[in-house]
Structure 1
């Protein structure tokens, strides 16, 4: 069984309900308002999630002490290569937080020292906590109950926590709130950095004049996340996003050995052994190529999600000889958005294409 059972409650809560849209609107406001507030929200709800998981682990340890190991079995497991590849999407979905740290490297203190340390500590902690939580689940629930449950942690709490079981759904809701906040906080910086490199529209390079937050980038990523909520099937959404995510990260990691060979003279403040990127690229090939055969529709949609950036790039960036009316329209639109959001770019309030 994959670690996805631990995260299933959190992702089920992110269904296409009005509350999901309302929570995103609130988090968009927080991230546009102040970075300190956004990080405070992130810290508080992360602690809440860890508290719930530690409570589950503690009761699981007690169940193990009582000898409840009857569900620790690998009977009726699927061992096909295709099933293993698809299961990685669900498992890796729970561990994807390490990647978001790279998006906020400009806001880290001493990133050369703290970025590798943060990734190493967080990945180790998450692996230990999720593994122990899965062990705790199977001290009480059978594999069939886990697979059929809409909310594994809630079912587990109802069995063991008694009157205290109501707290788990509360912590699950808090966890989803924190998870969405983390994505808005970090992914918006990716849009901002891409725009600063001239790869996205200029409006995304701009900062709110009083709050010093990348308001346009935050609103852009919030709009895209709401668009994803139109997909009601969580497994299909994970396959869509999983394929696009791991393909993109795999290509990025491939740059490490390529640049190490072609540009050996480049400064490398954070240097890693080539064994790690090579293994990562091989694993990426496994989790992206095999699903193409098994779920061609989902992987095709994942490819389309990536390709949606192509027309944006060619229209706004690569196309140099734009007609005057088009340039004036884009400039007018950019200036109007600047006035609405009170944002300015590095070069001042004027806009250009």
Structure 2
């Protein structure tokens, strides 16, 4: 490394196509597919309707990811929605996103996945009763801390962890799919008779069913958070998206068909751990394997979220929307360790009162609010700046369709049955604009932040990282 103290560090391009596919698929396939199928089914009311929701969720995320692939090749910076909104909608809206993301969306997602991991990890030790809440939350906290350490130590190590757990969870899902195929081959198809009977067609149940299904697909956009660390992003970004999301959508449909083949809709809706119930019915005394598989799946997804989530703080700090210390990287390991540590602390705080179902609904509401704004930026770039180089392009109709879907998803839960909690979430999002004025625009208390930055820089052995690679 150059001895010049003014020389800035750069994050390395360490992520290839295999790592990119593993990051997307490994993050998407988490605790969701083991925890939300029963909620999707109970919301939509029929087995046929639930399969339609899963397929529609896959189609929606595929269309959105194609749009993101173009954004990622036009704006070749890490940070995902934040950097795209900053470049198209301006700093105030971008700060509203980062404010919501850093203090709620990302930590809540990490806490939710950690709770999913912990629930399945401790289940074999509590066969006759639900595990104590304290044990579950301590296990979740331990998982968060371990993965924070892994991601702070080495990018290659964290990607190796991602590839390994992606492989294990694919094996687990293949086992579920295989078991379902065997049952279907034996003629066990009675659960699909009158598949669309009792389907709920109201706006609210459809919206909630999509929220639960889309939670399982969350992570489709994670590669856009680490564009600067991706080798040949103009080639590998769209390729990884097509490979990963097509694979995950197919797997999710087959897994849900397997669930519905083995269990009646009533059994599925009443199950608190659908994979364990499936395992007990198909594998008998070996049913505990599914608990282990679900735990490993959630752990891998948690690692992928950590890998990308820390980069959001990192990029926001480079743009002056977060403290400077969060835009620094370790002088030897070249990892954004301050941003990762900050994300860890907030996630542990959110974990204390964390509730899985509330996290899913409020997370999805907030996420699709900003997805709609992000893709509005893509439409703007297509119309106003067609001269920008675009190694990968999509027809303008695609982002328009996804924007319409995002509007529906934001409004659906509050049209039929408005809940005060969604108003609180909306006010929290909008409050970011009020925080922006004193802290970012007028930069109050700069002296205190400067002293704190210098102190932490010495303790953590970090230095400013270069924006341009």
Q: TM-score, normalised by structure 1?
A: 0.90
Q: CA deviation at 1:223?
A: 2.5
8 Å CA contact retained: 1:256, 1:277:
yes
Deviates more, 1:191-200 or 1:290-299: 290-299
In structure 2, the gaps of 5 or more residues are 1-30, 37-112, 120-135
Report the equivalent of 1:300.
Answer: 423
The superposition leaves residues 3-44 of structure 1 with CA deviations (integer Å, 9 ceiling, x where unpaired) of x97331776445661100111011111111111111111111
Regions of 4+ moved over 4 Å? none
CA deviation string 1:156-213 (max 9, x = no partner): 0111112322211111111111111110101111221122222222111100112110
Indicate yes or no: 2:363 matched with 1:241: yes
User: CA–CA distance in 1 between the matches of 2:314 and 2:32?
Assistant: 34
CA distance in 2, matches of 1:144, 1:338: 56
1:266 to 2:388 alignment: yes
1:19 aligns with 2:46: no
Residues 160-179 of structure 1: matches in 2 within 5 Å? Answer: 160-179=282-301
Aligned to 1:117: 239
Query: What is the DSSP-based 3-state SS (H/G/I as helix, E as strand, rest coil) of the residue aligned with 1:238?
Result: helix
Counterpart in 1 of 2:336? 214
Match of 1:344 among 448, 451, 463: 463
- 1:269/1:257 Cα in 2 relative to 1: closer, same or farther (>3 Å)? same
The size of the alignment, in residue pairs, is 341
> Is the 8 Å Cα contact of residues 12 and 151 (structure 1) preserved in structure 2?
no
| Match 1:143 to one of 247, 265, 274 | 265
Q: Deviations over 1:67-123 (max 9, x none)?
A: 111111233332211110111111111112211111011111100111011111111
Per-residue CA shift, 1:201-257, capped at 9, x if unaligned? 211110011211001111122223223323443221111111111111111011111
In structure 1, what is the Cα distance between the partners aligned to 2:32 and 2:298? Answer: 15
Instruction: Output aligned runs, 1:175-190, within 5 Å.
Output: 175-190=297-312
2:251 alignment partner, SS class: helix
* 1:17-166 equivalence runs, <5 A: 17-72=137-192, 73-166=195-288
Once residues 424 and 145 of structure 2 are traced to their aligned partners in structure 1, the CA distance between those partners, rounded to angstroms, is 26
Structure 1 residue 340: Cα displacement: 2.0
Q: Counterpart of 1:226?
A: 348
Q: Which moves more between the two structures, 328-337 or 291-300?
A: 291-300
Range moving further from structure 2, 275-284 or 15-24: 15-24
| Structure 1: distance between partners of 2:386 and 2:295 | 48
Change over 3 Å in CA distance of 1:232–1:316 after alignment to 2: closer
What's the offset of the Cα at 1:268? 2.5
Deviation of 1:305 (Å): 4.5
Relative contact order (C-alpha < 8 Å, sep 6+): which is higher?
Answer: 2
Q: Is the contact made by 1:188 and 1:214 (CA closer than 8 Å) also made in structure 2? A: yes
| Per-residue deviation, 1:295 | 4.2
**Does 1:333 pair with 2:445?**
no
Q: Which runs of 5+ in 1 are unaligned?
A: 348-353
Q: Shift in Å at residue 304 of structure 1?
A: 4.3
* Correspondence for 2:402: 280
Question: Secondary structure, in 3 states, of the residue corresponding to 1:200?
Answer: coil
TM-score, structure 2 normalization: 0.69
- How far residue 302 of structure 1 moved from its aligned partner, in angstroms, is 2.9
